[in-house]
């Protein structure tokens, strides 16, 4: 069982000035699968992945990556182990070209070899479908393309776990369809943790779903099971008018 789980958290808790944002989260991420983390606004999803990636220090609890306790590692060390992270609010290098944006991501794992880096950048940009814009300045891109660029930057790192925080937020309908296809393509190659609001995307892309509500794990299961779960429905309906 342990070998199947690439990532595990035990009792992960975050308290902000006495308020609990995350309480005792025990979570497992199955290797090679697409797992979606869903929940109403303010359920603590971003706090949770922040603690997993090391951006947000945990108040208590532990994070295990491939069986190793990484709780004490700073963010950049966790990334070096094979975690890639895309931000909820697009975070790119706006003053640099797309090529350089992705090259920065690729260079860390490929070392100083420019030819290898170049090949990798081209491959990744093609994969997300923005290779024709490689020489543009990233800040000039449309929002949707910036999101794709972020995904390209994640892919260029050849991550073992790819954390996507609200990747489809602000995308057009057609772009969302392409995104679902991309995620299904990636499944098997890497492990994906998807934080997503759009239930259509979740249902179409995820193998497994974990639901957070008020900082606690509410339910776990396949998309079908979650869909039928009355507690989940109540949580969503309960906050729909809030």
Partner 1 sequence: MKDAAKSNALHFGVLATLLVLFFVLPPYHAGNLSRIMVLAIYAMGFNLVFGYTGLLSLGHAMFFAAGMYGFGLTANLAGWPVVPAFATGIVCAAALAAVVAALALRTAGVSFMIVTLMFAQTAYLVVLYFGEYTRGDEGFVVQKAARMIGEIDLTTDTARFFAAYILFAICFLGLARVIQSRFGRTLVAIRENEERTRMLGYDAQRHKLYAMILSGAVSGVAGAAYAMLFGYVGATFASVQYSIFPLLWVLLGGAGTTIGPLIGVLFMFYLIDFSSSFTNAYMLIAGVALVLLTLFAPHGLAGLVRRKVFAWLP
Least distance (Å) between residue 115 CB and partner 1: 10
Is 94 a binder of partner 1 (CB under 8 A)?
yes
Which residues, numbered 11-50, are part of the site for partner 1 (CB under 8 A)? none
Residue 53 CB, shortest distance to partner 1, in Å, is 7
Q: How far is the CB of 162 from partner 1 (least distance, A)?
A: 13
- Residues in 153-212 at the binding interface with partner 1, rule: CB under 8 A: 153, 157
Between CA 122 and CA 129 the distance in angstroms is 10
Only one of the segments 77-85, 166-174, 193-201, 222-230 lies at the binding site for partner 1 (rule: CB under 8 A); that segment is: 77-85
79 binds partner 1 (CB under 8 A): yes
Each residue 44-73 as x (binds partner 1 by CB under 8 A) or -, in order, gives: ---------x-x------------------
Span from 21-29, 37-45, 80-88, 126-134 in contact with partner 1 (CB under 8 A)? 80-88
| CA dist., res. 180 & res. 62, Å (int) | 31
Specify whether the CB–CB gap between 43 and 215 falls below 8 A: yes
Residue 80 as a binder of partner 1 (CB under 8 A): the answer is: yes
96 belongs to the binding site for partner 1 (CB under 8 A): yes
User: Would the CA dihedral through 123, 128, 130, 136 be positive or negative?
Assistant: negative
Where in 98-157 is the site for partner 1 (CB under 8 A)?
A: 100, 103-105, 107-108, 111-112, 153, 157
State how far the Cα of 35 lies from the Cα of 13, in Å rounded to an integer.
21
Q: What angle do CA 137, 84, 236 make, to 5 degrees?
A: 100
Residues that bind partner 1 (CB under 8 A): 53, 55, 75-76, 79-80, 85, 87, 91-96, 100, 103-105, 107-108, 111-112, 153, 157
């Amino acid at each position: 069982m342990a070998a199947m789980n690439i990532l595990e958290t035990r009792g992960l808790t975050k308290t902000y000035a006495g308020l609990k944002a995350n309480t005792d989260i025990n979570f497992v991420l199955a290797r090679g699968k697409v797992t979606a983390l869903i929940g109403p606004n303010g359920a603590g999803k971003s706090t949770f992945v922040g603690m997993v990636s090391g951006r947000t220090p945990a108040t208590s609890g532990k994070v295990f990556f491939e069986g190793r306790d990484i709780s004490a590692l700073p963010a950049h060390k966790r990334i070096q182990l094979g975690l890639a992270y895309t931000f909820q609010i697009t975070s790119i290098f706006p003053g640099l070209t797309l090529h350089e944006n992705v090259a920065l991501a690729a260079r860390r794992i490929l070392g100083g070899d420019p030819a290898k880096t170049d090949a990798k950048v081209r491959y990744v940009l093609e994969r997300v479908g923005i290779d024709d814009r490689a020489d543009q300045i990233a800040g000039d891109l449309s929002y949707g393309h910036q999101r794709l660029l972020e995904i390209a930057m994640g892919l260029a790192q050849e991550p073992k776990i790819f954390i996507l925080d609200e990747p489809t937020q602000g995308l057009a309908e057609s772009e969302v369809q392409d995104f679902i296809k991309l995620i299904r393509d990636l499944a098997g190659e890497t492990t994906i943790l998807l934080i997503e609001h759009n239930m259509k995307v979740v249902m179409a892309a995820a193998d497994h779903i974990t639901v957070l509500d008020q900082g606690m794990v509410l339910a776990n299961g396949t998309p079908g099971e979650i869909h039928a779960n009355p507690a989940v429905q109540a949580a969503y309906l309960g906050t729909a008018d809030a």
